[in-house]
Amino acid sequence: MSIAIFFLHVLTRIFMSRVEKVAFLTLILISATLSGCLSSDNDSSGDDSDEIPPEEEFEGADYVECMIHEELERCWNVLVPSTVNLSNEVPMIIDLHGNTLTMENQRALSEFDDIAEENGVIAV
């Protein structure tokens, strides 16, 4: 990316007046900003009847999410019990493990799955 910026800088210094430079750089800035908003596969028909509402995607979900942090993979379990009403705001409880316990060991030890199910909350 820095090579492209350097090339644009050299090009504008050699061939353009100050007003042309400002106009050109403004156009580039606007184009770069809008490029993330445009999509060729965007269906604008307005018929969303086939789409699953977001709350139905997570009802009864029990899955693991992961991310890389400081070059280490960090994972956590997310439980969305079927007793949760996702059309309303829902509390979330976080069950942290430490010492020598793994995510799985802490989950079995704390029984937060049962607590989440009984109280209609999300457990992470």
Q: Is residue 90 pLDDT above 80, yes or no?
A: yes
Q: Identify the residue whose tokens are 């009403």.
A: 85
Lowest mean pLDDT among 54-58, 60-64, 94-98: 54-58
Q: Is residue 74 pLDDT above 60, yes or no?
A: yes
In this prediction, residues 81-99 reach a mean pLDDT of 82
Indicate the helix (H) or strand (E) that contains 112: helix 112-119
50 occurs within a structural domain: no
How many folded domains does the chain comprise?
2
pLDDT, one tens digit per residue, over 99-114 is: 788 888 888 888 888 8
18 occurs within a structural domain: yes
Q: Which domain holds residue 112?
A: 57-123
DSSP three-state, residue 54: helix
Q: What is the pLDDT of residue 14?
A: 64
Same domain, 107 and 64: yes
In this prediction, residues 54-76 reach a mean pLDDT of 77
The DSSP code for 71 is: T
25 occurs within a structural domain: yes
51 occurs within a structural domain: no
Same domain, 101 and 69: yes
User: From edge to edge, which strands make up the β-sheet containing 72-79?
Assistant: 62-69, 72-79, 122-123, 92-93
pLDDT, one tens digit per residue, over 7-19 is: 656 665 666 666 6
Regarding predicted confidence, which is higher, 24 or 75?
A: 75
